[in-house]
Amino acid sequence: MTDTAEVRAGDRPEVAVDIHAPSFGKRNYEIYEDLRERCPVAWSTEVDGFWLITDYETVFEATQDDDLFMSGKGAGIRRRVENADSGANLDILPPIHTDPPLTGDMRKLTVKFFSPAAADRLRPQIKEIATELIDTFIERGEADIVGELTTPLPARLILRLLGFDETRWPEWVRIIHTLVHGREGGEDPLTVGSKLQDLIASEMQRRFKLQLPDDDLVGSILNGSAGGRPLTTEEKFGYILLLLFGGMDTTSGLTGNTLVEMSRDPGLKRQLIEDPDLLQPATEEFLRYNTPTQGLARTVTRDSEFHGQQLKEGERVLLLWASANRDPAAFECPAELNLGRKPNRHMAFGVGQHRCLGSNLARAMFQVMITEILRRLPDFAMVDAEPDLFKDAGNVYAPHRLPITFTPGTRSAGVA
């Protein structure tokens, strides 16, 4: 159920917003606009009950108060059956599911692998993969651009960085998508959890035997310490799983959402083709406008008043980045795409110590994919009037598949 009609229970504004309902993703921005105007801090009676925070100022304030809003008890709003169905514990994913000062220690283990300089060094590899993938379909004049480019490229790269077999990317994608999207991911949720645990455990054992140095991404996790102690087995598993999540869903979502907007408004393509330097600020605008990760949750640590509402210890609070990114109090004409928008202090990657570790790498992959698509498939257009989105926008707001057509081109692999 998704109904923003307000029902008063004492002084608490209550709404029926189920972020996992298929109807939510079809009108999420409409819902956000309504809540920002009427009750930016509201209680949803759905999914076991949780607070929604929708305006920019209040979301930002909440991200700065790790003492009141803790992350250590999970960052999602999930139905109770979802963990049981997957057989996997999704509530231990360092550093996102940690609190300061542990968060800082966890981030230090891998932050150097995802710095701006590290991301830039990877651009030639990203372009190489993009070229290879586009070569497989460019002569056809049609493709599912999500299934054939925007999903496999980030998946292959993160597997390469982890030292896993990147040729098995389809298997990993099916598993990760099942954890995030349920049966839509293509696997049985009842068996995918145990399969995932076996795969990651096998890789951890294989890599541990190699006595990896700390300048190896997985080695930095397996050998890592935080809070004055070695990481637990669960923390190591969760850290690797988080990196897989980041590599197999959100970057593809950002790119797919962007291609949808370009298909709807070819003028966006023309602007970027005529002025390639515009891609830098345009990246931030596309992140703001169609944020793939709509929000992340926190847990209230104590009874407290927050912006006129009485929060109770243990209640869940969803900080909606996507809604904050459309707040007219923070962005002029927020429902319009302005590729040169400056300033653009969006929250697509979160804020503060929990800001997305892979944000620099995500930008690099996105920019290379968009550049290569505009160079090699400049007249692409969606086949369908509306994109085929994942049904559960509460986890990731993005196309599940995106069939396109374009003027057939020639393969370029091996061409300088």
Structural tokens at position 186 = 């293509």
Angle formed at CA 205 by CA 199 and CA 211, multiple of 5 degrees: 140
pLDDT at 268: 98
* Inter-residue contact 321 to 59 (CB < 8 Å): yes
What is d(CA 104, CA 213) in angstroms, rounded to the nearest whole number? 21
What is d(CA 280, CA 363) in angstroms, rounded to the nearest whole number? 9
pLDDT at 195: 86
Token pair 């999914």 is found at 47
pLDDT at 416: 40
pLDDT at 372 over 50: yes
Burial (CB count within 10 angstroms: exposed 0-12, middle 13-18, buried 19+), residue 309: middle
Q: For 39-168, where are the alpha helices, taking DSSP H only?
A: 56-63, 80-86, 102-110, 116-135, 145, 152-162
What is d(CA 248, CA 173) in angstroms, rounded to the nearest whole number? 6
CA torsion 51→56→62→64, rounded to 10°? 160
Token pair 């004409």 is found at 333
pLDDT at 81: 42
pLDDT at 340: 97
pLDDT at 84: 44
Q: Which residue(s) pair with 300 in the sheet?
A: 69
CA dist 354 → 28, 161, 285, 304, 350 (Å):
24, 22, 21, 22, 7
* Inter-residue contact 128 to 160 (CB < 8 Å): no
Structural tokens at position 115 = 């710095």
* Inter-residue contact 349 to 287 (CB < 8 Å): yes
Closest C-alpha to 254, from 278, 294, 286: 286
What is d(CA 14, CA 4) in angstroms, rounded to the nearest whole number? 8
pLDDT band at 207 (very low <50, low <70, confident <90, very high): confident
pLDDT band at 194 (very low <50, low <70, confident <90, very high): confident
Q: Sketch out the chain's domains with CATH numbers.
A: 2-405 (1.10.630.10)
- Rounded mean pLDDT of the chain? 91
Q: How many helices (H) and strands (E) in the chain?
A: 17, 16
pLDDT at 182 over 60: yes
Residue 371: its H or E element: helix 359-376
What is d(CA 134, CA 22) in angstroms, rounded to the nearest whole number? 32
Structural tokens at position 198 = 């076996």
Share of the chain above pLDDT 90, in %: 78
CA dist 19 → 25, 28, 205, 247, 315 (Å):
8, 8, 38, 23, 17
Least confident stretch, 191-205, 259-273, 281-295, 395-409: 191-205
Structural tokens at position 10 = 């004492």
What is d(CA 160, CA 332) in angstroms, rounded to the nearest whole number? 41
pLDDT at 211 over 80: no
Structural tokens at position 241 = 């799983």
pLDDT at 364 over 60: yes
pLDDT at 49: 96
The mean pLDDT value for 113-137 works out to: 98
Higher pLDDT, 138 or 223: 138
pLDDT at 105: 97
Structural tokens at position 303 = 């009874």
Pairing type for strands 316-319 and 50-53 reads parallel
What is d(CA 66, CA 189) in angstroms, rounded to the nearest whole number? 33
* Inter-residue contact 389 to 25 (CB < 8 Å): yes
pLDDT at 212 over 80: no
pLDDT at 4: 59
343-357 pLDDT, tens digit each: 999 999 999 889 999
The mean pLDDT value for 288-292 works out to: 96
62-89 pLDDT, tens digit each: 999 999 999 998 888 876 444 444 455 6
DSSP string, 145-185: HIIIIITHHHHHHHHHHHTS-GGGHHHHHHHHHHHHHGGGG
What is d(CA 65, CA 62) in angstroms, rounded to the nearest whole number? 5
What is d(CA 103, CA 353) in angstroms, rounded to the nearest whole number? 7
pLDDT at 215: 81
